[in-house]
Structure 1
């Protein structure tokens, strides 16, 4: 199926291509070699409104659709895979807010997105990866507050995000129906960064352990109601799967272009190996 891009989508794609050639490509190499989070690329992308794209117009965002987001991720996959990874974690928190967020949550966190604040998806634990229903992080209701305790691992943008979507057990013994979702700000008391992972690639995107020790949030910070968290997690992941296809296409095109360029430059037996 052929999809005709809108004028706005073409402008966005061309803007990212130019930014990629002018700056992101170089910054990606530098951050990967230094094994440091690519703050400069993040800042450049915020300047052109990339992280506010999915937020609804009523909260100051652009309400971008899946096609637009996939275009963005394909270009980032080509020039800056680390920032593509960072954006994926951010986007995974969008649909849960649409489907389960109360007015307080929607206004607070969609406005954060519109202001180009970065979110992180906190689901994975040492013993709960593909089997997400096996979470050990718990949230207990004490008066008007939920108290969260547990450890998350392999969290994209852990330690650099402005807010976190956190999945925790609120109904022990209920499996998937006993998991709820909370939104937590980076400065919440009791929230800290543990081990920062050493990776083979995409090192401009930080992957870290996040530790929750008696982190308290009021009832308004629960998204979707008690026991609805895991369904919202899957909804969030479904949105970004098409975007992951875009990232993969961008990466593959970059690899092909570099291979062709090398074949033209590399000479053997008196001629380029491309001949």
Structure 2
């Protein structure tokens, strides 16, 4: 066996608070060669059909590729070959890609986040609160006068439930992330519940495939697409119905595709958000390294994490 380096992978969990589940699982990938290490992580996204088992199964396929690859400094070449193995599970690809980026940083003192991403001067910070049924009132005590308060719906709530909790956020500028859970009529009713002059933006206001129906909202609100935005083709399909697009490192499998799509969106003059689900601290670390390249920074969810460990 022509092994150039050693590769390891394992499971870690983040213990959660204020949410209706106890923990979330992560896959961690480690490269080691002659005392130099590189570590990356991926958190499966159930919205895209990923599970911890599917992620680990694909990581196992990539173990041999990573161990035998001649020169990991050929980052882009490795990514092209990995794309042939990883079709849809971006969490596994992210774990491997970030471990290579970390390995290059530790071995060559070359930070790929600085190479691939330029910085903007003006960025707006977003503080995130998840809305779900029977949520704890205690989470509202975590809000620290943010520039923008983002409300992200984890599940579909009825109007009475939304009304019950919205009084705790009335004094903040609000960004509503609907995650495509509601239809057009329901969105209009929810907007009536909130103060219209207090709403900064709507994120994924309609389900995937129904984006064009947002035209009557686009004139009154900034519209950002997240779940509808997965490929380069999605950018051009949605650009006339969008103020901007939402990025996650894990959504695009690491740094390379994230940088590529970011440059395209900048070129057509739309805005960008760097966001994240609740993920492993390593993913958050890399997202924060590139956050100044985006117009909006939505990476504040530490208040939902008790601890992360093996």
Q: TM-score, normalised by structure 1?
A: 0.28
Q: TM-score, normalised by structure 2?
A: 0.26
Q: Which structure's residues are more often helix, by fraction?
A: 1
